[in-house]
Structure 1
Amino acid sequence: MSLDLTGKRCLVTGGSRGSGRAIVLALAARGARVVTCYREDQEAAADLERELKAFGADHRVVRADVRRPEDAAMLAGTCRELFGGLDVLVNSAGVDGHAPLEALEPDEWHRVLDTNLTALHLVTRAALPLFGANATIINIGASAAERGLAFKSHYTASKAAVTGWTRSLAKELGPRGIRVNIIAPGIVASGADGPPPQVIERIKSATALGRLGAPGDIADAVLFLASDHSAYISGATLTVDGGI
């Protein structure tokens, strides 16, 4: 099965690190043209720019806070200027959160909900005029939204809301030929920022495949949903969690 995406015009939010970075590089490696954004880590963004040069000049890494309507509009404007339109939007920007309910203050609630949910609305709404028929929107959710996790009520709430948002949007945009789907990762290895070794071993033992996910696992799922091989899939959740 060929996943050649030559000529596809893509916007990926949160593309400087982790799974977002793997998604950006995987799309570019298969011939797509990519605009992506970062919020704070300029070093990671500069490193990504250097890697993207190996795939040609039709890529852009810009600084944006996707929680802000004006930044979402700027991203859409960048895509219009460079590409004239969009074929693929990957809403990958997201944050984790950990707090017991009694300590879950409004600022922390809004930090997680605004990044994981509101940003999807802002970026997708800004990008909507750029989509033609056969465009696809891919939202990064979380398999934990179906299971729940203690001390992560705001995180799982934000990701569960993405499911309802996605399924509603799939019905709304389907008549225009636009597909909308979710990828729901499990625990993805994140290097030095990940959980301690004993927690990692416990997570591994809970998966059918006996390992954590890798950023490339998520990127591979994005390639499938961005390709014409998924032309009759919309409103679906593709779970990529190793069988937790």
Structure 2
Amino acid sequence: MELGIFGKRVLVTGGTRGLGKTVVLALAKGGARVVTCHHSAGAAADDLSRELKELGDQHHVVRADVTAEDDVQRLAGVCKEAFGGLDVVINNVGVVGEAPVGELSAEEWSRVLDTNLTAHFLVTQASLPLLAEGGSVINIGASAALRGRAATAHYTASKAALIGLTKSLAKELGPRGIRINTIAPGVIDKGGDLGPPPQMRERLAKMTALGRLGTTDDVAGAVLFFAGDLSRYITGTTLNVDGGI
């Protein structure tokens, strides 16, 4: 059996660093055509554009703020112009936040909810006219949503709400043959400043059944599964990729 991603037309949000970059490159190497976006210009976007260029001319890196409706509509327009439609949407963009609830400002609450939840809604909504029958929407959540974590009420709430959004949209979009699922990573060592501090890595690794932190490749494998044809009868699910934490 093959994953069935060759030739797929894919949109990946937040695709220039960490997990997003790993997913974008895995899709491109597997023969998919990819549009991805980033919030700010910089070396990360330039590096990804260069790497994708080496894999072909059919990939596009676009600057867009997916919390802004106008930018999301423009991003959908790029997908339509480049591919004529979409087969897969991967809502990967996200931010973290930490503050005791008594010190959590309304601005910080909105920042995290807008990025981790509202952006997923906006991108999915804008993509609906482009999604082919049998299409797949993949939301990147967090296993913390199922456990809770102190001093991260806004972050945990955003990821828990994403599970509810996924389940509702699975019911609504199912008649069109569109699947929607959530992947819930645990603690992922994304390398550099994107992973947990060195002093925490050993302690967190010991909390998992497998005795190690996850990698972006571990999560990307689950993304490719949902993006391809092997998952064609799976929708409305949450898949934990957390090493049994």
- TM-score range (shorter-chain normalised) is over 0.9
Cα distance in structure 1, aligned partners of 2:108 and 2:223: 29
| Conserved 8 A contact 1:170-1:235 | yes
| Conserved 8 A contact 2:4-2:229 | no
CA RMSD of aligned residues (A): 0.9
Deviation at 1:87, TM superposition (A): 0.1
| Conserved 8 A contact 1:4-1:31 | no
**Deviation string for 1:43-99 (max 9, x for gaps)?**
100100111112211000010110000011011000000000000000000000010
Aligned residue pair count: 244
Deviation at 1:204, TM superposition (A): 0.2
- 3-state SS in 2 of match to 1:55: coil
Alignment of 1:41-52 (within 5 A): 41-52=41-52
| Conserved 8 A contact 1:3-1:30 | no
Cα distance in structure 2, aligned partners of 1:99 and 1:39: 24
Match of 2:234 in 1: 233
Most deviating of 2-11 and 65-74: 2-11
**Deviation string for 1:140-173 (max 9, x for gaps)?**
0000000000010100000000000000000000
Do structure 1's residue 141 and structure 2's residue 141 form an aligned pair?
yes
Alignment of 1:179-194 (within 5 A): 179-193=179-193, 194=195
Deviation at 1:4, TM superposition (A): 4.0
Match of 1:127 in 2: 127
Cα distance in structure 1, aligned partners of 2:113 and 2:175: 29
Cα distance in structure 1, aligned partners of 2:132 and 2:212: 39
Do structure 1's residue 217 and structure 2's residue 218 form an aligned pair?
yes
- 3-state SS in 2 of match to 1:163: helix
Alignment of 1:61-210 (within 5 A): 61-193=61-193, 194-210=195-211
Most deviating of 213-222 and 86-95: 213-222
- TM-score, normalised with respect to structure 2: 0.98
Cα distance in structure 2, aligned partners of 1:230 and 1:191: 29
- 3-state SS in 2 of match to 1:183: strand
| Conserved 8 A contact 1:87-1:131 | yes
Cα distance in structure 2, aligned partners of 1:118 and 1:196: 29
Which amino acid counterpart does residue 47 of structure 1 have in structure 2? D
Cα distance in structure 2, aligned partners of 1:236 and 1:207: 22
Most deviating of 194-203 and 234-243: 194-203
Deviation at 1:41, TM superposition (A): 4.6
| Conserved 8 A contact 1:11-1:90 | yes
Name structure 1 gaps, 5 residues minimum.
Answer: none
Match of 1:242 in 2: 243
Cα distance in structure 2, aligned partners of 1:104 and 1:22: 32
Which amino acid counterpart does residue 231 of structure 2 have in structure 1? S
- What is the percentage of aligned positions where both structures have the same residue? 62
- TM-score, normalised with respect to structure 1: 0.98
Most deviating of 195-204 and 151-160: 195-204
